[in-house]
Structure 1
Amino acid sequence: MSDLNQKKVAFLVANEGIERVELTEPWAAVEQAGATPELLSVQTGEVQTFDHLDKAEKRKVDKAIKDAKVDDYDALVLPGGVANPDALRTDEDAVAFVRDFLASGKTVAAICHAPWTLIEADVVQGKTLTSWPSLQTDLRNAGAEWVDQEVVQDGNLITSRKPDDIPAFNNALLESLSHGGAS
């Protein structure tokens, strides 16, 4: 993998309901690869992560999504959790950011329930992806092909199903980031 020291990765979350490991493990992988992660949310302050349904740690937000620009980042990560993407898909700034990021050709990586935000951004038509199994009907109804695999890459879009898939998810993210996006 090439040196990622000049790369910056946005992690976009709502204020609550984020599956902790789906944020912290990709975050750590990005840092260990030499890139800089930045936490974006719908509001400034702190966000609440969860271990499934139990509250876990809080994380400080680096920037509100309304103040973020796609041009400032090399990749976008959308962690899951059920409540997190459900809240994100109701935020116009978050949805527009996701739509613009996919259109830019830069890497977008979404895990677990995060594809709900991709559906709302209207960017899954004709794409092959995976997610937590309960989203497969939603994704098919939005025009995507859903497959049951630990990681799927379709152009600049990377998706995974669940926390157990994080190692493969992280590898695909870092590989794509090192090659500047779509492979």
Structure 2
Amino acid sequence: MDGKTIAFLVAPEGVEEVELTEPWKAVKQAGGTPKLVSTDSGRIQAFNHLDKAGTYAVDATVDEVSASDFDGLVLPGGVANPDFLRMDERAVGFVRGFFDAGKPVAAICHAPWTLVEADVVRGRTMTSWPSLRTDLGNAGATWVDKEVVVDTHNGSVLVTSRKPDDLKAFNQAAVDAFSS
């Protein structure tokens, strides 16, 4: 994975901290360069469930970058994070750009909500936090209850996981996808 740059797209607040920090560490340990992308500049506010956690500096906004600047994308979860992102056309377009370019994407927990909005789940097999099952099915995906799912469809790889307990498997599958 040496020399590859991976975007981590998060809202200004609401990302589940461990779903940001653990994949971030995995990318760094594999020799990649993670970059924090958000809709606003400055710092983002992470959460540990409903409690405020750390803040993190934004490297670039979705207005300053595109999928062509990166080798892959991580979408961390948290309930508020993807709910905010799916309402921002710039963020949705940024995500869609990775699929249009056939670049690998990894999404955990509630993050697939943003993928539904980007209309990139049709025909895919994936997992998520269980409450997204109906949303993903209505958007044309096949939802399964597994620790991690790697789906290759139309030339792009999508890695999905259900929750923080799945992070070890999620991180390994994401790093493998980004290394290909």
Aligned runs of 1:113-124 on 2, under 5 Å? 113-124=110-121
Unpaired segments ≥5 residues, structure 2:
none
CA distance in 1 between counterparts of 2:177 and 2:137 reads 25
Superposed displacement of residue 104, structure 1: 1.1
- Listed one character per residue, the Cα deviations across residues 75-117 of structure 1 (whole Å, up to 9, x for unaligned) are 1000000000000001111100111111211110000000000
CA distance in 2 between counterparts of 1:5 and 1:142 reads 35
TM-score of the pair, normalised by structure 1? 0.95
CA distance in 2 between counterparts of 1:86 and 1:171 reads 26
Runs of 4+ in 1 over 4 A off after TM superposition: none
Unpaired segments ≥5 residues, structure 1:
none
TM-score of the pair, normalised by structure 2? 0.96
**1:102 counterpart = 2:99:** yes
**1:65 counterpart = 2:62:** yes
Q: For 1:10, what is the secondary structure of its paired residue?
A: strand
Is the contact made by 2:66 and 2:97 (CA closer than 8 Å) also made in structure 1?
Answer: no
Q: Which amino acid aligns with 1:140?
A: G
Is the contact made by 2:45 and 2:56 (CA closer than 8 Å) also made in structure 1?
Answer: yes
**Partner in structure 1 of residue 159 of structure 2:** 158
CA distance in 1 between counterparts of 2:178 and 2:118 reads 22
**Partner in structure 1 of residue 134 of structure 2:** 137
- Listed one character per residue, the Cα deviations across residues 29-71 of structure 1 (whole Å, up to 9, x for unaligned) are 1011110000000000000000000000000000001111211
Q: For 1:30, what is the secondary structure of its paired residue?
A: helix
**Partner in structure 1 of residue 13 of structure 2:** 16
Q: For 1:34, what is the secondary structure of its paired residue?
A: coil
Q: Which amino acid aligns with 1:162?
A: K
CA-based RMSD: 0.6
CA distance in 2 between counterparts of 1:99 and 1:16 reads 21
**Partner in structure 1 of residue 41 of structure 2:** 44
CA distance in 1 between counterparts of 2:177 and 2:2 reads 15
